[in-house]
Amino acid sequence: MWLYLTQHTDLFDGAPKRVLHVAPERCLEVRLRKALGNGYLTGDLHNRAMVRMDVTRIESPDDSFDVIYCSHVLEHVVDDRKAMREFYRVLKPGGWAVLLVPVPADRPLEDDTIVSPQDRLRVFGQEDHVRRYGPDFVDRLREAGFEVRVIGVADLFGQADAVRMGLTPACGDIFHCTKRP
């Protein structure tokens, strides 16, 4: 992800940006906080961030952020469509978001009657997941208003570089979402 952010986005072009990082990963948070300074905000439902945040009810005004980064959160959110609409709402026109989820299935799987951790592990692959995404993930993002580009490892690097860096298609796709100006 760091390679994508540094080599394929305008995140570090020197222009001031307001960035929301949801459920921050420590390895990225340290680097992003240092590079972005006061424009960087982390949010998480479980107080592991600068602000406590429910992604289905983001307490920021419309058009607040230039960039949103959210990795492997939406598969835990019961109303993921509402969260996607919230991301769209708080993203500035012309802004972009990277919204990452695992897409392990050829078709989506959701069943709100599956609630026990053991059953969720068996059906969704992790005890706190509420769904398995399929290719429909892009449709959900578009329904929220985003324009979406799906970017795979092969779109970013030649095969030799990908092998050298240990990147495979199993790393997952990047869902780069924009809000029209």
Q: Domain extents for the chain?
A: 2-9+16-178
Please list the ranges in the chain whose pLDDT falls under 50.
none
- Per-residue pLDDT at 169: 72
pLDDT at residue 101, as a whole number:
95
Nearest C-alpha neighbor of 86 from the set 70, 72, 110: 70
pLDDT of residue 105: 75
User: What is residue 166's predicted lDDT score, i.e. its pLDDT?
Assistant: 83
Burial (0-12, 13-18, 19+ Cβ within 10 Å), 96: buried
Predicted pLDDT at 160: 85
CATH number belonging to the domain at 2-9+16-178, selected among 3.30.1640.10, 2.60.200.20, 3.30.420.140, 3.40.50.150: 3.40.50.150
Put simply, whether the predicted model's pTM sits higher than 0.95 gets the answer no
SS (H, E, C) the chain: CHHHHHHHCCCCCCCCCCEEEECCCHHHHHHHHHHHHHHEEEEECCCCCCEECCCCCCCCCCCCEEEEEEECCHHHCCCHHHHHHHHHHHEEEEEEEEEECCCCCCCCEECCCCCCHHHHHHHHCCCCCCEECCCHHHHHHHHCCCEEEEECHHHHCCHHHHHHHCCCHHHCCEEEEECCC
Residue 144 in contact with residue 81, Cβ under 8 Å? yes
**What confidence score (pLDDT) does residue 13 get?**
96
Separation CA 83–CA 89 (nearest Å): 10
Supply the pLDDT for residue 19.
98
Per the CB < 8 A criterion, the answer to whether 95 and 179 are in contact is yes
